[in-house]
Structure 1
Amino acid sequence: MEVADGVELWVEERGDPRSPAVLLVMGAASSGLFWPEALVDRLAASCRVVRYDHRDTGRSTAGSSYALRDLAGDAVAVLDGLGIDRAHVVGMSMGGLLVQLLLIDHPDRLLSATLFCTGPLGGAPGDPAPGPSDELLQFWATMGEPRDDEAELAWRVEHWRLLHGDGVPVDPAEFRAQELRVAEHSGGLLPATAHATADQSGLARGAELASVAVPVLVVEAPADPAYPPPNAQRLAAAIPGARVVTVPGMGHALPAAVLGPLVDAVEAHLAG
Structure 2
Amino acid sequence: MDGGQYVEVAPGVRLWAEQRGAADAPALLLIMGAQASGLGWPDELVDALAAHHRVIRYDHRDTGRSPWAFDERPYRITDLAEDAIGVLDGLDVARAHIVGMSLGGMLAQLLIADHPDRVSSATLIGTCALSTTDHVRPDGARVPVAELPGIAPEILEEWAKPVEDLGPEAELDRRVAHWRLLSGGGIPFDAEYFRALERRIIAHTGRYDTNGAHGRADDSGMLRTAELAGTEVPTLVVRATAEPVFPPPHADHLAQVIGHDTRIVEIPGMGHALPREVLGPLADAILEHTVQFRTAP
TM-score (norm: length of structure 1): 0.97
SS at structure 1 position matched to 2:279: helix
Equivalent residue number for residue 269 of structure 2? 249
| 2:217 is aligned with 1:177 | no
Match of 2:228 in 1: 209
Measure the CA separation in 2 of the matches of 1:31 and 1:169. Answer: 24
- Provide the C-alpha distance between the structure 1 equivalents of 2:133 and 2:59, rounded to a whole number of angstroms: 28
For the residue of structure 2 that corresponds to 1:69, the secondary structure is: helix
Q: 2:33, 2:105 within 8 Å by CA — same for their partners in 1?
A: yes
Q: Would the aligned equivalents of 2:131 and 2:257 in 1 still touch at CA under 8 Å? A: no
1:80 counterpart residue number: 89
Distance in 2 of aligned mates of 1:147 and 1:6? 33
How far 1:164 sits from its partner (Å)? 0.5
Larger radius of gyration: 2
**Aligned residue type for 2:17:** V
What is the CA–CA distance in structure 2 between the aligned matches of 1:51 and 1:227, rounded to whole Å? 23
Q: Which runs of 5+ in 1 are unaligned?
A: none
Could you tell me which residue of structure 2 aligns to residue 223 of structure 1?
242
Structure 2 equivalent of residue 265 of structure 1: 285
Q: Counterpart of 1:71?
A: 80
Matches for 1:1-272 after TM superposition, within 5 Å: 1-63=7-69, 64-126=73-135, 127-128=144-145, 129-240=148-259, 241-272=261-292
Q: Is 34-43 or 192-201 further displaced after alignment?
A: 192-201
User: Displacement of 1:204 after TM fit?
Assistant: 2.3
Equivalent residue of 2:9, what SS?
A: strand
SS of residue in 2 equivalent to 1:220: strand
Q: C-alpha distance in 2, partners of 1:122/1:152?
A: 36
| Contact 2:61/2:68, CA 8 A, preserved across alignment | yes
**What stretches of structure 1 move > 3 A for 4+ residues in a row?**
143-147
Q: Quote the offset at 1:151 in angstroms.
A: 1.9
Partner Cα distance (1:58, 1:154) in 2? 19
User: In 2, Cα distance between the equivalents of 1:140 and 1:156?
Assistant: 11
Instruction: Provide the rounded CA distance (Å) in 2 between the counterparts of 1:201 and 1:144.
Output: 26
- Encode CA deviations 1:81-117: one digit per residue, 9 max, x unaligned: 1111000000000000000000000000000000011
| Contact in 2 for aligned 1:163/1:225 (Cα 8 Å) | yes
CA–CA separation in structure 2 for the residues paired with 1:44 and 1:93: 22
Cα deviation, residue 131, structure 1: 2.1
Q: TM-score normalized by structure 2?
A: 0.89
C-alpha distance in structure 2 between counterparts of 1:122 and 1:143, whole Å: 31
**What do residues 211-267 of structure 1 show as CA deviations (whole Å, max 9, x unaligned)?**
110100001011011111111000000002211000110000001011111111001
Q: CA deviation at 1:190?
A: 2.9
Conservation of the 8 A alpha-carbon contact between 1:123 and 1:207: no
Pairwise CA RMSD: 1.2
> Which residue type is aligned with residue 83 of structure 1?
D
Alpha-carbon deviation of 1:209?
1.0
Q: Is the CA contact (8 Å cut-off) linking 1:55 and 1:61 kept in structure 2? A: yes
